[in-house]
Amino acid sequence: MEISLENLPEIPSLDLLAKQLVEGFITGMHKSPFHGFSVEFAEHRLYNTGESTRHIDWKVYAKTDRLYTKRYDEETNLRAYILLDNSSSMYYPTKNNGKIRFSILAASTLAYLLQRQRDAVGLISFSDKIDVFTEAKSTRAHLQNIFIHLHHILQQDQQHKTTEISQSLHLVAEKIHKRSLVIIFSDLMTKPEQLEEFFKSIQHVKHRKHEVLFFQVNEPGTEIDFELEDRPYLIEDLESGQKMKLNPSEIKETYHKKVDEYYKQIALKCHQYKVDLTRIDINDNIQKVMAEFLIKRNKMN
């Protein structure tokens, strides 16, 4: 059965659903989609004649006129942190809490996959502050704890919770273990002038040697294409509670232009900072979205 928000009115047991999603498309994948990330530089040692020159540090040679090679510690486990934006805008559309529900399903899938590979995974949820912070662990009991947190997030009061994603990312960059995989789920529904602050925080995360995957979650029909009936609407900002009367036809052209510029800027900055950007349409089939992402990651490795 294809799994989408339409045929999944209520989220059942997250562990069983995540297992169903993962086992539906991971069979036949020859290696981890995150394989090879956790190789850390350890120290230098003098080069011995006859060794491979592959790991010679030529920058050190230029400074010292002596040959040194880099030694590495190969870690068996990856450390990954899933960062989930649970501000009020993520509960849109309010009829099914679509963006947060899709994000929780995708996050559960990745958490299950990581634990299945014996990798360590942690959960961080945030709105105007960090609400949940769990350390990265690889135990089954810890995974169940993550599922409990995710289910609780869906059930909580979502009224007028603003987003401070930049502030949260700065804190995460300092707090988590150096060189981790940081997986962000957010709609990034912020003011254009705040976008620069977001990417400053991304730069901070990258400076700490973390890899960043960014899932931008949207309902494109209304949020991007502005597909609304040609009649007056009372639009409410889910985060601030501010309301505005408007007729879509009067602003649609300007809206399209602004949104197009905004999303192009996000894509450009992600490319600049080497952030793996995946745009999610919550109306798509969840299995298809996650399978395509994992196949892409597998090819990258």
CA 108 from centroid of its chain's CA atoms: 12
What's 148-176 look like in SS3? HHHHHHHHCCCCCCCCCHHHHHHHHHHHC
Model confidence at 1, pLDDT cuts 50, 70, 90, reads very low
Q: Is 212 exposed, middle or buried (0-12, 13-18, 19+ CB in 10 A)?
A: buried
102: pLDDT confidence band, cut at 50, 70 and 90? very high
By percentage, how much of the chain surpasses pLDDT 90?
48
Question: Given this model, what pLDDT does residue 62 score?
Answer: 83
Given a cut of 90, is residue 215 above it in pLDDT? yes
pLDDT in tens, 226-276: 888 888 888 877 777 788 888 888 888 998 999 999 999 999 999 999 999
pTM across the whole model? 0.80
Q: What is the pLDDT at residue 44?
A: 66
Is the dihedral angle over the CA atoms 274, 108, 285, 257 positive or is it negative? negative
Q: What is the mean pLDDT of the chain?
A: 84
Residue 47: C-alpha distances to residues 36, 41, 251 (Å): 25, 16, 66
pLDDT reading at 23 higher than 90:
no
List, for residues 112-168, the tens digit of each pLDDT value: 999 988 899 999 999 989 999 999 999 999 999 999 999 899 887 677 788 889 999
The whole-number average pLDDT for the span 209-218 is 95
Identify the pLDDT of residue 104. 93
Q: What angle do CA 272, 277, 282 make, to 5 degrees?
A: 150
Domains and CATH numbers, the chain: 14-33+76-300 (3.40.50.410), 39-74 (no CATH)
